[in-house]
Structure formats: C-alpha cells, structure tokens
Amino acid sequence: MTEPSPADEITRSDPLLHAFQNHLSAIVGFCDLLLRELPEGDPKRADVLEMHKAGHAAIDLLPKLSTRIR
C-alpha cells in the first residue's frame, strides 16, 4: 500500500474537497485509459495528454485550496 499524498490527507477532513478530488481522479483515470488505447501519432493523443496533465495539476492544488477555504 502506498502512503497517502498531501491531497489525500487534506480531502479526508473536508467532504467537499474529497468529492472534488474524486471527480478529478475519474478524469485522470479515463485519460489513462484513453492514452493506452490511442496509438502514437494519433492527433487526439495530444489533447488527452493535456487533459491528463491539467487533472494532475488540479489534484496538486488541493492542499493550497484547502488552506484558502478554512
């Protein structure tokens, strides 16, 4: 089992942030699935990679967001 990320620690104490993280994780997860299926050179791949990167960036912002909410 892996150690919880800072975002995981924060969202455990805030139900709204927890729900937001769940939605972001679903987006990132679906991007992972699409990236496995899209062949290299597919023009859609760049768009999915950008969505994947944005999803991870949003998850990384959750700890900062939580300090602003409180």
Chain segment 13-39, per-residue pLDDT in tens: 788 888 999 999 999 999 999 999 999
The predicted structure's pLDDT at residue 69: 67
Own/partner long-range contacts of 50-57 (Cβ < 8 Å, ≥24 apart): 51/27, 52/28, 55/24, 55/27, 55/28, 55/31, 56/28
pLDDT of 1 higher than 70: no
The predicted structure's pLDDT at residue 66: 77
For 42-58, the pLDDT digits (tens) are 999 999 999 999 999 99
- What is the C-alpha separation between 23 and 39, in angstroms, rounded? 26
pTM score, whole prediction: 0.75
- Whether the CB-CB separation of 19 and 66 falls below 8 Å is answered with no
**Tokens 């290299």 — which residue?**
40
CATH dotted code for 6-69: 1.10.287
Give residue limits of the domains in the chain: 6-69
